């Protein structure tokens, strides 16, 4: 008789093996892409040109992203001594490490949520498969804050508040999006623990931004104003506003002028953003308190619902943001819905950019945006069901979404 390894052994081995396979595969992919294919339709050239501006971010030029992102890119530029080949290699290596760590984290989060069962195997395998072949995972910087978001989730489930707060704060300082974890933390940890995590995360954010503002108020203020000052793009709100464009910023050299951070390139919002925020905040609160807070499996769905409501409300959409949804889907939904919704969102995003918009087919947004909105609503409904809503609650969710 053959001695079959236990499912526990298989789980642990696969979780440790897949990140290594991801790293090795990406090294081979990098060698295949040299010298011309690495950039594709991503932002590597933009990152390099930003750091090539004279001076430092927040001091001599403003940055549309938080400090940890800007200074990481600046550090890579300094290490590479302005050589774009070395710059690309170091940044690609950083993103590859982030992807490997995120796969390991997803597997361990799945073990914390479901125990060492077979579904942990397919969850980490599906995430590995989609992440390995998605160009967004090496075209853009977003895989780094995605990994920090997963680290924060891991420590929340381990009930290590200090570590969760620190990593959540670092994620917010890399890109604002991880702040969307706070509603779920409020719901699933008691108020004392929520207060500790949020104070650490937000305190770290305020301290870092405050230091920049104290040393360079004009460029730091311009950096903070740059994102809220943007016109809508690639969303239902952009269609209403008549903004048929991508989320591209101003010419890079204009970042040397702080006043340009508030320059609006497109049409202003027809429907005020604050008004839609009130509506979606109300919907979010209603859904938030329908989830059973006694079950840790409900943590990921409420993070996902919060994320999707934010994306529906947001004036803008960038296709690489699908990377933030992918691990949440893989961690929480049944296998068929995980595969179909993950593939649907990735496929639609790639059709949007680079297939159509890079070729200036902006009229396609009249089809892409509504289809994406339907997928977002399906995600909310799927997460509501796995969160153990009652039949009455399910009807209430549908009713809330109709509003």
What is the tens place of the pLDDT at every residue in 54-113? 999 999 999 999 999 999 999 999 999 999 999 999 999 999 999 999 999 999 999 999
Q: Would 211 be classed as within a structural domain?
A: yes
Q: Would 204 be classed as within a structural domain?
A: yes
* Kind plus residue range of the DSSP H or E element containing 115: none
pLDDT at 357 over 70: yes
Q: Would 52 be classed as within a structural domain?
A: yes
Peptide bond into 234 cis (omega under 30): no
Q: Would 277 be classed as within a structural domain?
A: yes
Domains in the chain, number: 1
Q: Would 188 be classed as within a structural domain?
A: yes
Q: How far apart are CA 75 and CA 56, in angstroms?
A: 10
Q: What are phi and psi of 316, to 5 degrees?
A: -125, 160
Asked if 3 and 113 count as a contact pair (C-beta separation under 8 A), the reply is no
Mean pLDDT of the chain: 89
The predicted-structure confidence for 1-59, as pLDDT tens digits, reads as follows 334 344 455 557 778 889 998 998 888 888 877 756 788 888 999 999 999 999 999 99
DSSP three-state, residue 59: coil
Return the pLDDT at 11.
58
Q: Would 128 be classed as within a structural domain?
A: yes
Q: Would 2 be classed as within a structural domain?
A: no
Q: Which residues, in sequence order, are CB contacts of 58 under 8 Å at separation 6+?
A: 67, 70, 212, 215, 216, 219, 220, 223
Q: Would 392 be classed as within a structural domain?
A: yes
| Residue range(s) defining the domain that contains residue 110 | 7-402
Rg of the Cα trace of the chain?
21
pLDDT at 333 over 80: yes
The fraction of the chain above a pLDDT of 70, given in percent, is 92
């Amino acid at each position: 008789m053959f001695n079959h390894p236990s499912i526990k052994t298989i789980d642990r081995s696969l979780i440790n093996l897949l990140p290594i396979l991801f790293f090795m595969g990406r090294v081979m992919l990098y060698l295949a892409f040299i010298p011309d294919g690495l950039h594709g339709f991503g932002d590597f050239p933009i990152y390099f040109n930003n750091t090539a501006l004279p001076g430092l971010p927040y001091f001599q030029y403003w940055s549309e992203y938080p400090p940890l992102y800007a200074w990481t890119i600046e550090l890579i530029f300094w290490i590479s001594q302005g050589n774009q080949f070395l710059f690309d290699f170091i940044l690609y290596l950083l993103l590859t490490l982030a992807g490997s760590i995120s796969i390991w984290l997803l597997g361990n989060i799945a073990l914390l949520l479901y125990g060492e069962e077979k579904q942990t195997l397919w969850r980490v395998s599906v995430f590995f498969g989609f992440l390995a072949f998605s160009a967004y995972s090496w075209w853009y910087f977003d895989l780094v804050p995605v990994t920090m978001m997963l680290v924060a989730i891991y420590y929340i489930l381990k009930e290590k508040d200090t570590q969760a707060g620190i990593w959540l704060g670092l994620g917010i300082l890399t890109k604002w999006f991880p702040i969307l974890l706070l509603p779920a933390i409020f719901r699933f940890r008691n108020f004392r623990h929520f207060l500790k995590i949020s104070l650490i995360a937000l305190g770290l954010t305020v301290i870092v931004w405050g230091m920049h503002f104290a040393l360079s108020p004009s460029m730091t203020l311009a950096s903070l104003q740059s994102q809220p000052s943007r016109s809508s793009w690639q969303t239902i709100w952009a269609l209403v506003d008549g903004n048929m464009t991508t989320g591209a910023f101003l010419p890079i050299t204009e970042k040397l002028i702080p006043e340009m951070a508030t320059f609006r390139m497109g049409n202003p919002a027809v429907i005020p953003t604050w008004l839609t925020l009130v509506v979606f905040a109300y919907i979010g609160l209603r859904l938030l308190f329908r989830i059973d807070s006694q079950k840790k499996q409900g943590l990921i769905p409420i993070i996902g619902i919060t994320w999707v409501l934010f994306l529906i409300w947001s004036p803008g959409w960038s296709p690489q943001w699908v990377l933030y949804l992918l691990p949440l889907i893989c961690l929480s939904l049944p296998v068929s819905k995980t595969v179909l919704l993950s593939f649907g969102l990735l496929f639609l995003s790639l059709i949007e950019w680079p297939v159509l918009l890079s070729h200036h087919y902006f009229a396609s947004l009249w089809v892409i945006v509504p289809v994406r909105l339907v997928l977002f609503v399906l995600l909310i409904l799927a997460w509501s069901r796995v969160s153990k809503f009652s039949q009455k609650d399910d009807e209430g969710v549908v009713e809330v979404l109709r509003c």
